[in-house]
Amino acid sequence: MRRNVNEITGSRRMRRNRRFDWSRRLVQENTVTVDDLILPIFLIEGNNKREPIASMPGVERLTVDLAVQAAKEAASLGIPAIATFANIPIEKRDETGSEVLNPDGVINEATRAIKSEVPQMGIITDVALDPFTSHGHDGILRGDTIANDETVELVSKAAVVQAQAGADIIAPSEMMDGRIGAIRDALDDAGFEDVAIMSYAAKYASAFYGPYREAVSTKDLLKGDKKTYYVSPANSDEALHECQLDLEEGADMLIIKPGMPYLDIIRRVKDEFSVPTFAYQVSGEYSMIMAGVEKGFLDEDRAIMESMLAFKRAGCDGVMTYFAPKIAKLLADGWKI
């Protein structure tokens, strides 16, 4: 006995709400706005120089003066915050990443310059040691181990130096145990109670960081891998455990990194903790989309905006993305899904 469609669906027709542009807009559950965006910026020393990054078409390393211009442009587009990452000369990198403590290092110089010229821009700085070590690891290498407690001491000091330069949010990405509590104490002791901590709480040992390692020139330096301190891509409960500990230690916001391959983690974290939750759409995700675009396989604007909606749908409050200026422009031009 063959039933007609109304008998099968009990007269429900999901397509009714999809018929018109106005009704699709009415039932739309998630939106992307410029307020969701954090722009990562790569910094180099010197003046008036920009360097392309081969594996990240359209992204450049900038000297501080040009980073100020980029921050101005981002602010004029309405982007709320930037996150800075350094590529320092190889001669300045050492076993312990001591350059991270240099108050006049490129990260702190950029914070001061951007704060003075674009005061409305939120500035997020990372304390991980990888751009500063001669071995490319995020922590201090002793033999073949990353020394947890010694690294925590150093990154806590770095957090204070970055706060002194004017950073609004410290985002520690080195995944050492106990770092959030230690950084909170160090900031409070130095009178920076109002500087926030955005923890890379669940940072996975991922292949998708490849292009970033070219961007900060750690690719050829890195000895071994980061499996002893980043979370295994096989695990999900462990990410929740990390988030729970970081919140208990004083994290104000959480980052899940990478983004798109870990939307399930974002959803679980948001459901479990109901705190501000961010994704980092990392370099490899950026480069994958751009490679598809360059080959003519993907529509650039639609692919980028769909990836943003995916983050929002998964529960993100915001996204760190190299596409931030592009997205802001599309939104300003009236982009609709």
Interface positions with ligand PBG (CB under 6 A): 128, 130, 138, 173-174, 209, 212-213, 226, 282-283
Is residue 232 within 8 A of residue 148, CB to CB? The reply is: no
Catalytic one among 203, 226, 270, 312? 203
Is residue 273 within 8 A of residue 241, CB to CB? The reply is: no
Nearer to ligand PBG, 108 or 206 (CB): 206
- Residue matched to tokens 């960081």: 209
Is residue 132 within 8 A of residue 93, CB to CB? The reply is: yes
CB of 208 to ligand PBG, least distance (A): 6
Nearer to ligand PBG, 30 or 233 (CB): 233
Does the annotation mark 219 as catalytic?
no
Task: Look at residues 99, 103, 150 and name the one whose alpha carbon lies nearest to residue 129.
Answer: 99
Nearer to ligand PBG, 63 or 151 (CB): 151
Contacts of residue 320, Cβ cutoff 8 Å, sequence gap at least 6: 38, 39, 40, 83, 255, 278, 279, 280, 281
Catalytic one among 226, 257, 270, 312? 257
d(CA 72, CA 312): 26
d(CA 256, CA 237): 13
CB of 9 to ligand PBG, least distance (A): 45
CB of 334 to ligand PBG, least distance (A): 29
Contacts of residue 30, Cβ cutoff 8 Å, sequence gap at least 6: 309, 312, 313
d(CA 290, CA 57): 7
Nearer to ligand PBG, 160 or 320 (CB): 320
CB of 335 to ligand PBG, least distance (A): 24
Task: Look at residues 180, 171, 185 and name the one whose alpha carbon lies nearest to residue 242.
Answer: 180
Residue sitting closest to ligand PBG (CB): 212
Does the annotation mark 49 as catalytic?
no
Nearer to ligand PBG, 277 or 283 (CB): 283
CB of 281 to ligand PBG, least distance (A): 8
Instruction: Output the CA–CA distances (angstroms, integers) from residue 46 to 40, 124, 139, 249, in the order listed.
Output: 19, 21, 26, 38
> Catalytic residue positions?
203, 257
